[in-house]
A and B are shown apart, each in its own frame.
Chain A
């Protein structure tokens, strides 16, 4: 996992320590940031999608989870406990001189939902990335997003060896309400990934206009 700066120790004098490359620095005028969350199972292409539209090479932030309960002794001290590290990949798009959009990819499986706590607070919305070979992960994710009233669109990443289904069949299989956009994409392509984000924004626009009108 290549999430730190790639410079060798030899470059220490020039630019000591880790940090963003100078060309990756945000403008001084960057005043506010918004986020969108990409949710899906392992190997569904979240990082690929993030990487194809991001202006920086995707970064990884890690969080540790202490395994509570199972086989853990009294944890009065700070002796070594059983911990799991979970990684979240993210990327960045500068929308204009002031506004920055961050894209976070997060695993959809239930055991990672603890990551969602701070992730969805204030998020504009979510993209559920789907692999037609493993639809079952998506059921839980969609249910969970609906529970939390997070607006989302569903994007089917078209893998060459995955069976192609008509979108209306997939919509029925996912039990997706008619109003929720369902699109196909190729996460490897910048334009296709951009279009997925655009579908989410158009949907949010519609929702906002509907709310305003009511």
Chain B
């Protein structure tokens, strides 16, 4: 039923071309990193493009761009285009990766060290 279930292998490049309307990730206005966390603002609406509906459905809790790509079996470049549209429509929002300058590096690194020590 859901085209995303057929996976990337079932489609070939043409299918991806259709999903994104022929655009590629490089033309996406929003800078999305592999680890940008995405959260949906609402539930998917009927009539939405299935891939976009799938993104909204799995992003009810925060999920990284890389995880969305893996779960939906779509290349990151395609997911980026879909997310840009969803963000423009205010349907999802992003929690950007920590920019190096935002937190003092040392505090960030120490937080990671603390976390790893608990493993």
B67 beta carbon closer than 8 Å to chain A: yes
In the complex, how many angstroms separate the beta carbon of B64 from the nearest chain A beta carbon? 6
Closest to A121 in B: B33
A interface: dominant SS: mixed
Closest to A33 in B: B35
| Contact partner, A204, options B2, B97, B109, Cβ 8 Å | B109
B99 beta carbon closer than 8 Å to chain A: yes
Q: Which residues of A82-98 are within 8 A (CB) of B?
A: 83, 85, 90, 92-96
Most buried by A among B22, B66, B105: B66
The A-B contact count (CB < 8 A) is 170
Please measure, in the bound complex, the distance between the C-alpha atom of A35 and the C-alpha atom of B63, giving whole angstroms. Answer: 14
Please give, as numbers and ranges, the residues of chain A lying within 8 Å of B10 by CB-CB distance: none
Contact (Cβ within 8 A) A201 B73: no
Contact (Cβ within 8 A) A59 B75: no
Q: How large is the interface on A (under 10, 10 to 19, 20 to 34, 35 or more residues)?
A: 35 or more
| Contact partner, B115, options A17, A96, A121, Cβ 8 Å | A96
| Contact partner, A4, options B7, B33, B111, Cβ 8 Å | B7
Please measure, in the bound complex, the distance between the C-alpha atom of A31 and the C-alpha atom of B37, giving whole angstroms. Answer: 7
Please measure, in the bound complex, the distance between the C-alpha atom of A100 and the C-alpha atom of B37, giving whole angstroms. Answer: 10
B88 beta carbon closer than 8 Å to chain A: no
Contact (Cβ within 8 A) A28 B33: no
Closest to A191 in B: B119
Binds B, one of A60-68, A141-149, A152-160: A60-68
Minimum-distance CB pairs A-B, first 8: A95-B115, A59-B70, A19-B58, A33-B35, A25-B61, A61-B69, A208-B106, A30-B62
Q: A78-B17, A201-B112 are in contact. List 17 more A-B contacts (CB 8 A).
A: A3-B70, A17-B54, A25-B61, A25-B63, A30-B37, A30-B95, A33-B36, A34-B108, A59-B71, A61-B66, A64-B13, A66-B13, A81-B13, A95-B116, A99-B115, A102-B64, A121-B33
